[in-house]
Amino acid sequence: MKVINKESLLETFQYFDKPIVVEIIDIFINEQPKRMETIEKAIRNKDFETIKFEAHSLKGVIANFVADLPHSQARDLEIKCKEEDSSGLEELLEALKISTSDLVDDLNALRPDFVE
């Protein structure tokens, strides 16, 4: 499933040096599995502060890629943890895992557009 608005992403990065865009993409791709693992562990431990921090950080990174679905899911996760509401966290995490995996797929497909 495509989660990136390609046109908006290209507009966002149009004035960036291409190697910097590739670096931003690579950092996200490389960090995504660890982030999901950290959030999953924090959910098991009901560590709302860690979840909130990771979700906020993830939300900010995803915003760079103009990917509304994973962005809104990360935001929802952050809000639930601010309220220390553990209901539905596992389901939200599973949905976020899928959408960020789709985001990784989209980024891998777009990455060659930025390689010089």
pLDDT tier at 116 (50, 70, 90 boundaries)? confident
Give the torsion through C-alpha atoms of 43, 48, 51, 57, to 10 deg: 170
Confidence of residue 29 (pLDDT cuts 50, 70, 90): very high
pTM assigned to the model: 0.92
Please state, in angstroms and rounded to a whole number, the distance separating the CA atoms of residues 70 and 63: 9
Tell me which of 6 and 94 has the higher pLDDT: 94
Average pLDDT over residues 112-116: 87
CATH number assigned to the domain covering 6-110: 1.20.120.160
Token pair in block for residue 62: 């995803």
Task: Please state the domain extents for the chain.
Answer: 6-110
Please give the distance of CA 26 from its chain centroid, rounded to a whole number.
13
